Amino acid sequence: MANITRFFVFLSCFCFASRVGSASGNRNVLVIIGDDAGFEMQVYNNTVCKTPHLNSLASRSLTFTQAFTSVSSCSPSRSAILTGLPQHQNGMYGLHQGYHHFNSFDTVRSLPLLLNQSGIRTGIVGKKHVGPESVYPFEFAHTEENNHIMQVGRNITLIKLLVRKFLQQKDDRPFFLYIGFHDPHRCGHTNPQFGNFCEKFGNGEPGMGLIPDWTPVHYSPEEVVVPPFVQDTPAARSDLAAQYTTISRLDQGIGLILQELQAAGHDKDTLILYSSDNGIPFPNGRTNLYNSGMAEPLLLSSPLHTSRWGQTTDSFASLLDVVPTVLDWFGLEYPEYEIFGKNKLVKLTGKSLLPALKEEQSWNTVYASHDLHEVTMFYPMRIIRTGDYHLIQNLNFAMPFPIDQDFYLSPSFQDLLNRTRKGQPLHWFKTLKNYYYRPQWELYDLKSDPQETVNLADNSDYRDVLQELRSQLQAWQKVTYDPWICAPWGVLEDEGPYKDNPVCMSMDNGT
Ligand SMILES: *[C@@H]1O[C@H](CO)[C@@H](O)[C@H](O)[C@H]1NC(C)=O
Ligand SMILES: *[C@@H]1O[C@H](CO)[C@@H](O)[C@H](O)[C@H]1NC(C)=O
Ligand SMILES: *[C@@H]1O[C@H](CO)[C@@H](O)[C@H](O)[C@H]1NC(C)=O
Ligand SMILES: *[C@@H]1O[C@H](CO)[C@@H](O)[C@H](O)[C@H]1NC(C)=O
């Protein structure tokens, strides 16, 4: 019976697929992802960092105030954006490049794969950072795999020309174009000659080369807005000023892409989504799943849904929603299949965001899951975030929180290290010691404590809240087949006699 059902599902997906391929009056999708980009933009009320092109996109978008990544690390986040599955389910546990070498499972069905099978043309320009190729095949691909990342990810003149080339190809199929900016990622650990954020790359000064389409915007350290989770010191301020200048390149690059879209006659039939992969590369940001590492900008612009243009929404969105949203836009269904073996059907836990373009939704819960960033940085965390509460489980809480190569060398982190070593005031809301050593459970009441400074996990007044959130989190881990579901106190047994009834068996290693 189950087999018969599956056969019919397969058939119906196939019919859908052929219909999109032959559709006239195409609908297209443009996804733009900033690299470590945050809320340093006027759309999100930063009055200093000037972003006229994002402003202009926002005037034709619904802006989400409650959007979150499912993991605050580059490759894991991009894999989740493109598969709709959290990193622990799609296999991209950490960074893809170099000796980290993380890849998604061979059987995962990503967006470019599904769209290609449905007759949609796929393109990627810029940072890809996921693999293997067979899981993430793009038809038109100009990425770090066949170009220099500085060129395809930061040279907005080249990005413009590549987008033009894609849009002007003679092809009647609808398209899905994914732009992975490398801006405003840090640069100091790889190309320090261009500045901490590559803010000098292409500015026309001697040795910097020229990006003809970029007019750099400069800021003074005194005028930047220091986020509440970053220390207010001269070192952090000049780091932020450099980040803002790089954001001017991202912003102007977005302007060029939107201009190309319009010139190609696709501004009236293309859904545009702008977001970022993870938190900003500052303390408590990227690689953390506090609000400061997990909250993301998200603009969703549909030419077919104009009634909420220019508005903001408090409905919750997750980057796990990108796949369901794009499939919904194309009228496609998600296929039924298995990754972890028989009877473990893959189910998307995200939802289409398109209904929010018509009216406010009551969505108020998201989940997140982190295992590694670099291969050496094992620090698994599982999270549920609701309108009122943020619950974090640190599975390996006895270990110190790890620091990545890129952030370690940054002026902001070196400043915290230097000050700690010299016993000087940090001007930060944490100490390095309590940043490194975290309890197993962290529970924050966001209404009274938006900066997440008072952990209520051991407060008996919140026992029921904690219980309820834990059981919701566990239910999500179950439906996404989280191999870490029994950590840190147990061993998951789900083979042999436990096949049909997986159990967590106690290790007697704690309470
Ligand atoms: C910006 O601030 C205004 C006024 O406080 C608020 O209504 C709006 O939602 C904010 N915008 C975003 C995107 O947070
Ligand atoms: C996608 O589909 C087209 C036509 O259906 C095919 O020719 C092409 O090789 C496919 N490309 C990729 C990258 O899968
Ligand atoms: C950016 O790309 C354009 C077009 O390919 C090229 O002319 C220019 O030299 C590049 N700029 C840099 C800084 O590499
Ligand atoms: C930290 O201290 C080192 C060694 O004294 C020094 O070279 C470096 O410039 C300092 N960095 C910051 C950001 O304070």
Q: CA separation (Å) from 443 to 20, 64, 291, 460?
A: 45, 24, 12, 12
Identify which of 472, 179, 488, 176 has the alpha carbon closest to the alpha carbon of residue 349.
Answer: 472
Question: How far is the C-alpha of 327 from the C-alpha of 330, rounded, in Å?
Answer: 5
Question: Per the omega criterion (within 30 degrees of 0), is the bond before 132 cis?
Answer: yes
State both tokens at 112.
Answer: 């470019």
Cβ of 235 closer than 6 Å to ligand 4, yes or no, is yes
Strand partners, 497: none
Please report which ligand is nearest the Cα atom of 58. Answer: 1
Spacing, Cα 42 to ligand 1 middle (Å): 10
Cβ of 156 closer than 6 Å to ligand 3, yes or no, is no
| Ligand 1 mutation pick, 40, 61, 225, 312, max ligand atoms within 8 A of CB | 312
Question: How far is the C-alpha of 388 from the C-alpha of 316, rounded, in Å?
Answer: 12
DSSP state of 211: -
| Catalytic positions, written as ranges | 74
| Residue nearest (by alpha carbon) to ligand 4 atom 8 | 414
Question: How far is the C-alpha of 325 from the C-alpha of 305, rounded, in Å?
Answer: 14
State both tokens at 487.
Answer: 């950590």
Q: Is the pTM of this model over 0.75?
A: yes
Cβ of 46 closer than 6 Å to ligand 1, yes or no, is no
Query: How many other CB atoms are found less than 10 A from the CB of residue 307?
Result: 9
Cβ of 42 closer than 6 Å to ligand 1, yes or no, is no
Which atom of ligand 2 is closest in space to residue 139's alpha carbon? Answer: 13
| Residue nearest (by alpha carbon) to ligand 4 atom 3 | 418
Amino acid at the residue 6: R
pLDDT at 511 (0 to 100): 61
Spacing of C-alpha 329 from chain mean position: 20
Question: How far is the C-alpha of 301 from the C-alpha of 303, rounded, in Å?
Answer: 7
pLDDT at 343 (0 to 100): 83
Spacing, Cα 47 to ligand 1 middle (Å): 12
State both tokens at 240.
Answer: 């932020």
* Pairing verdict, β 490-493 and 503-506: antiparallel
Strand partners, 383: 368, 392
Question: How far is the C-alpha of 250 from the C-alpha of 181, rounded, in Å?
Answer: 7
| Ligand 3 mutation pick, 125, 149, 158, 164, max ligand atoms within 8 A of CB | 158
pLDDT at 342 (0 to 100): 80
Which atom of ligand 1 is closest in space to residue 43's alpha carbon? Answer: 13
Amino acid at the residue 245: T
| Ligand 3 mutation pick, 162, 211, 214, max ligand atoms within 8 A of CB | 211
The per-residue DSSP string of 256-275 comes to HHHHHHHHTT-TTSEEEEEE
The ranges of the chain with pLDDT < 70 are 1-24, 511
Using a 10 angstrom Cβ sphere, with 0-12 exposed, 13-18 middle and 19 or more buried, the burial of residue 448 is exposed
